[in-house]
Amino acid sequence: MRAFGGRRAVDGVDLELAPGRRLSVVGPNGAGKSTLLRILATLLRPDAGTLELAGHDCDHHAQRARPSLGYLGHDPLVYLDLTAWQNLELFGDLFGVDDLRNRIPDALSRVGLLPRAHDPVRTFSRGMAQRMGIARLTLHDPVLLVLDEPYTGLDAQGARLLDGLLEGFASGGRGAVMVTHELGRAVDLADEVLVMRAGRAVDRCDTAGMDAAAFAARYQELTA
Amino acid sequence: MSSTIDAARRRLVGLGAVTAALMALSIVGVFLVAPEDADQGVIQRIFYFHVPIALISLVAYGVACVAAIMYLRRGGEKWDEVGVVSVGLGMVFSILTVLTGSIWAKASWGTWWVWEDPRLVTYLVVILLYAAYFVLRSSAEDNRRARYSAVYAVFAFAAVPLSFYSVRVAESFVHPVVFTRSGADMPGSMLIWFFVSLVAITGLFATLLQLELLQRRADRAMRDLKNRLETLMAGT
Amino acid sequence: MSASPLRQMRALLVKDLRLELRTRETAVAMGLFALVGMMIFQFAIGTRTDDATPFAGGIIWATLALTAVLGVGRTWVPEREQRVLDALLTAPVPRLVLMLARSVALVLYLLTVQVVVVPMAIVFFVRDAAFSDLGLVAVVCVLADVAIAVVGALLASMSVFSRARELLLPVLLLPSIIPVVIAAAGATHAVLGPGNALDEYWRYCVFLGVYAVVFGLVAFATFDHVLDD
């Protein structure tokens, strides 16, 4: 549970995600999706309730869980006045990634930014900057991705990249939690969908054998 | 909830009554009973209020610091309220300290303000220090306000002795401290009224603190009730 | 994987340095501000007296304290403007390292400005300054900068994420560094003023050290609550 000035933004959400499973979170504006995600990303401490990530109790040892986490928001979360390379070097150092000299070019070529490695991120287009965010996200091989509307501002190339990343994550036995407005992606790219409304989880269902249209109808009903 | 608020109100009325009696007693004692100071005359009587008020303002900041530590360790809106009310009272008492000190300065040394007196100057610094507490409080985002306030209350309380010391060190090089106001060499007939006044001012602080806290607690109970009602209405 | 605090610290400092070198806005603005500030003091005090030497310490440190507000105010600004803070906070960086890196960067900013400004101030305001005095003043600068940086990093971390931050910071920072100004000005005066009063100088220096240590402890005890929501 997390309250802001007496109003509960997230209340009584009980979640468990097995390795290799991807969860998407959907719901109308103000449903508490982002707050839930910030709690999962160890950016907010819950006022009540507990969080355990990759076997680490985050109430006391959030620091130990953080190496396993990859967080991406609407923004790429990189320094605009540093070059792509310098940004990755910084985050590589912060996460203690070894062999940065080889891993940075790898990460950059994966998102198609190797030719621009030494340009400041400020000179990038919105889509390129967001791809830069994906490079940052994956540099340290996280076990759990925490994504807040990651498709916002992403170009077609970046969207394909992220789709591929999420697909690869499931087969690699890793997990992802993603907040999104796009019901189609929520169903296609996740194994489970959580529907939130007014800070509460109102539905959780498996996406296996579910088609997006059927889910959209159900979502309309739940959030009306 | 309402029964405990009732109990707290009864305790407050009791505390208030005792404090009022003590205040009356100390005013009578200070102005009518205590002997006139041979050197300073009638103005010396301001000392019986000036010094206790100064002491209690520091106590108030101390209370705020302890409440802040409790808030940071355990959380709970209650500690935040104790903190903000204490700092507020501490501010009022500090301002009164400077005002009474200034009146004394005018009567004894013929000028309203004496930069050479380290105590007055320090209280001015302390007032500025704690005025910033309220500026911070009004600027902080809602979900951070209590936390930032608590951190600052701890921070400012650490700054108080350092300010005292720095002002004193500076003064001792420029001017020897010529005005000693130590109360220790007072005759017993003065000392006793000093202590009565100290207890009365302490009671005043406790009463005002409780009064404001009770008020806030009632507000909070009201808000909870309203929230519950709204949830109930939304549910149907 | 080895995320040693030293490596993280170095990375954060290199980052700050690179950001500053790219724009150079902070150091240049601080330097110019300090010079203008000293000129204002000269017209406020200096023109009323033949020899400004007795006021030199006060003028220098009053100006530097105001200048420090500019530097401290830049703290966390790229993080806020470019929304990088979330990325830093989800990285496994101990909050102590974040705060320390901030403080060290601040000390570097302040020293950079002082290397230029303090000798100029001595030329402007002090008659018959000995070259050896400069070393003693440098010690004061380092001590005072550490004290200001510790306090500044803590207060800036609160003000930068509040509304009306550029109004809030000076109101928060200046009253709490009054003791630093008093002591640093006193120590500088003891060195530059008539008659080298070394014992006075050392007492002020010790006070600056005590101040830095006390607030270092306060910052250490509270910064977790400042950075983590």
User: Is the model more confident about A64 or about C32?
Assistant: C32
Distance (Å, rounded) from C-alpha A73 to C-alpha A58?
Answer: 20
Range of the domain at A181: 7-77+142-223
- Tell me the average pLDDT of chain A: 82
- Residue B16 pLDDT > 70, yes or no? yes
* Contact in structure between C8 and C93 (CB atoms under 8 Å): yes
Q: Is A177 helix (H, G, I), strand (E, B) or coil?
A: strand
Q: In chain C, which residue's Cα lies nearest the Cα of A63? A: C92
The per-residue pLDDT for range B59-108, each reduced to its tens digit, is: 999 999 999 999 999 888 889 999 999 999 999 999 999 999 899 888 88
On whether residue A130 sits in a domain, the answer given is no
How many domains is chain A built from? 1
- Tell me how far apart the alpha carbons of residues A135 and A119 are, in angstroms, rounded to a whole number: 15
SS3 A32: coil
Give the range among A9-18, B26-35, C69-78, C184-193 with minimum mean pLDDT. A9-18
What pLDDT is recorded for position A1? 46
Residue A202 lies in a domain: yes
What is the H or E stretch that residue A72 is in?
A: strand A69-72
pLDDT at B147 over 70: yes
pLDDT, one tens digit per residue, over A82-122 is 999 999 999 999 998 888 888 999 999 988 889 998 999 99
Domain assignment of residue A31, yes or no:
yes
Residues of A in contact with C93 (CB under 8 A): 94
Residue B223 has pLDDT above 60, yes or no: yes
Number of domains in chain C: 1
In chain C, what residues touch A79 (CB-CB under 8 Å)? 15, 19, 78, 82, 84
Answer whether residue A218 is part of any domain: yes
pLDDT over 60 at B2, yes or no: no
Q: Which of A13, B146, A77, B233 lies closest to C88 in space, CA to CA?
A: A77
The token duo for B60 is 């108030």
**For position A168, which CATH number holds?**
3.40.50.300
Closest by Cα among C229, C224, C223, C96 to A42: C229
Contact B184, B106 (CB under 8 A): no
Nearest C-alpha in C relative to B127: C175
Q: How far apart are CA A39 and CA A34, in angstroms?
A: 9
Where residue B3 falls among pLDDT bands split at 50, 70, 90?
low
Chain C residue with the nearest C-alpha to that of A78: C84
What's the confidence (pLDDT) of residue B232? Answer: 84
Domain containing C143 equals 5-227
Q: Which residue has the tokens 């102590």?
A: C96
pLDDT bracket for residue B236 (50, 70, 90): low
Burial (CB count <10 Å: 0-12, 13-18, 19+), residue C199: exposed
**What ipTM did this prediction achieve?**
0.90
- Are the beta carbons of A67 and C228 separated by less than 8 Å? no
Residue B59 confidence (pLDDT): 95
Pairing of strands A200-206, A192-197: antiparallel
Q: Phi/psi at A85 (nearest 5 deg)?
A: -60, -45
**CB contact, 8 Å: A4 with chain B?**
yes
CB-closest option in B75, B143, B224 to A5 = B143
Sheet holding A200-206, edge to edge: A69-72, A144-148, A175-179, A22-26, A192-197, A200-206
Structural domain includes residue A1: no
What local confidence, expressed as pLDDT, does residue A12 receive? 67
